Amino acid sequence: MKKIFLFGLIFIFASYLFAGNKEHFVKIESSLMTLQNQVQMLQNSVVKSGTTSETLLKQIIDTLSKITITLNEVVSSKEDQSKNINENFDEIAGDIADLNHKISNINARLSKVEHGLAEIKGLILSMKMHKPTEGTGVDGKPLPLSPDKLYAMAYNDYLQGNYELAIQGFLDYLSKYGDTEYADNAQYYIGDSLFNQKRYNDAIEAFNKVVTNYPNGDKAPAAILKSGLAYMELSDTKSAIEMFKKVVKKYPKSAEAKIALQQLEILGVVKK
């Protein structure tokens, strides 16, 4: 229902679009691309596994609200622009034509997205009507995406620098597959996504979970090293040194121990 409401909003704002500027369009376009990808993924997951992912749906709603916000900005900037409209008639005429074209492009893509969502809705409905099959739980609720797929999607977001999506994806993975081989990796990448977002306190907390929950996992030395680097960013040199020493002591043969030693040398704690 919320989705339909958002679509309504978008179409209302779309009619104001001709007053928008390029920046807004780039934003809208990139959000649309994300949206299309997310809907595609959702469709694939529904078609292939007969299930749906809460995270994905949440992400789609997030993206939609981002578009709505940008469209709002476009509307408010319309008034400012109308003041300057006496300049450069030709250019403006050209620009408006360009913008109109872009609007129709966006409209076309939005209707594709809408179509996709309607299909998904239909699929979900038809799944609910059918009896539980092997892929569904006892209460008829669909089982989530396959662990590999969910992990790969989150990792892809991490590689692309979409850290918010990556964190959500890995949290989703951990809540469902917290005892699998890649669980420690997922926890580590949550920490590293937070680190890359410069949320160093949260990162330290997440890295700590790697060490306490998966002490024998292969990401433990990296988690300790990165907490040390996070403490450095927070100017807490004492805690940082503690972490670097811990890596060297606990995992002396790891690649991270050598990096930690390099850090201790830079800090003057150990001599070269």
Partner 1 sequence: MRRLLLLFVLILSFVIAIFPQQETFVIKPKPDQETVLALTGFQMGDGNQDSMIDVYLETLNGVLKSDLENSGFFRLLSPSFFPQKGIKVPQQLDFTEWRDLNLKIDYIIFGNSKIINNNLIVECWVFDIKTGDKVLGKRYKTMPRYVRKVAHRISDAIVSILTANQSFGVASTQIVFERKSEVGKELYVMDYDGENVHKLTSNSNINLTPEWSPDNSEICFTSYIDKFPGIFFLNVLDGTIDKLNVMGDFLTTPTFSPDGKRIAFSGRLKGSDNPDIYICDLDGKNLVNITQNSGIDISPTFSPSGNQICFVSDRGGSPSLFITDIYGAAPEKIIDEGGYMSSPDWSPDGRFIAFSWRPRGENHFDIYIVEVATKRVFQLTKGQGDNENPSWSPDGRLIVFESNRDGSFDIFRMFADGTNVVKLTSFGGCHNPSWSNYNK
As a whole number of angstroms, the distance between CA 19 and CA 40 comes to 30
As a whole number of angstroms, the distance between CA 154 and CA 4 comes to 27
Distances (CA, A) of 59 to 73, 89, 114, 217: 21, 41, 15, 30
Binding residue for partner 1 (CB under 8 A) from 140, 161, 178, 252? 161
Minimum distance of partner 1 from residue 141's CB (angstroms): 27
- The answer to whether residues 204 and 231 touch, using CB atoms and an 8 Å cutoff, is yes
The β-bridge partners of 136 are: 142
Q: In the range 190-249, which residues lie near partner 1 by CB under 8 A?
A: 192, 196, 219, 222, 225-226, 229
Q: Quick one: 127 or 210, whose CB is closer to partner 1? A: 210
From residue 32 to residue 51, the character string flagging contacts with partner 1 as x (rule: CB under 8 A) and all else as - is xx------------------
Minimum distance of partner 1 from residue 198's CB (angstroms): 12
Its sign, for the CA torsion 46, 49, 52, 57, is: negative
**Helical ranges in the chain per DSSP H:** 2-14, 22-49, 54-83, 89-129, 147-159, 163-177, 183-196, 200-213, 220-233, 237-250, 255-266
Which residue in 47, 56, 59, 54 sits closest to 126, CA to CA?
A: 47
How does DSSP assign 242-264, residue by residue?
HHHHHHHHH-TTSHHHHHHHHHH
Q: Which two tokens stand for residue 103?
A: 């609007």
From residue 172 to residue 191, the character string flagging contacts with partner 1 as x (rule: CB under 8 A) and all else as - is ----------------x---
Q: Quick one: 156 or 212, whose CB is closer to partner 1? A: 156
Q: In the range 56-95, which residues lie near partner 1 by CB under 8 A?
A: 94
Q: In the range 107-136, which residues lie near partner 1 by CB under 8 A?
A: 109
Q: Quick one: 131 or 235, whose CB is closer to partner 1? A: 235
Binding residue for partner 1 (CB under 8 A) from 4, 12, 47, 97? 97
Minimum distance of partner 1 from residue 152's CB (angstroms): 4
Binding residue for partner 1 (CB under 8 A) from 12, 40, 81, 101? 101
Q: Quick one: 80 or 265, whose CB is closer to partner 1? A: 265
Please report, in angstroms and rounded to a whole number, the separation of the first and last CA atoms in the chain: 64
- The answer to whether residues 250 and 224 touch, using CB atoms and an 8 Å cutoff, is yes
Is 24 a binding residue for partner 1 by CB under 8 A? The answer is no
Instruction: Mark the segment that binds partner 1 (CB under 8 A) among 125-133, 135-143, 155-163, 170-178.
Output: 155-163
For partner 1, the binding residues (CB under 8 A) are: 26, 29-30, 32-33, 94, 97-98, 100-102, 104-106, 109, 148, 151-153, 155-156, 159-161, 188, 192, 196, 219, 222, 225-226, 229, 255-256, 258-259, 262, 272
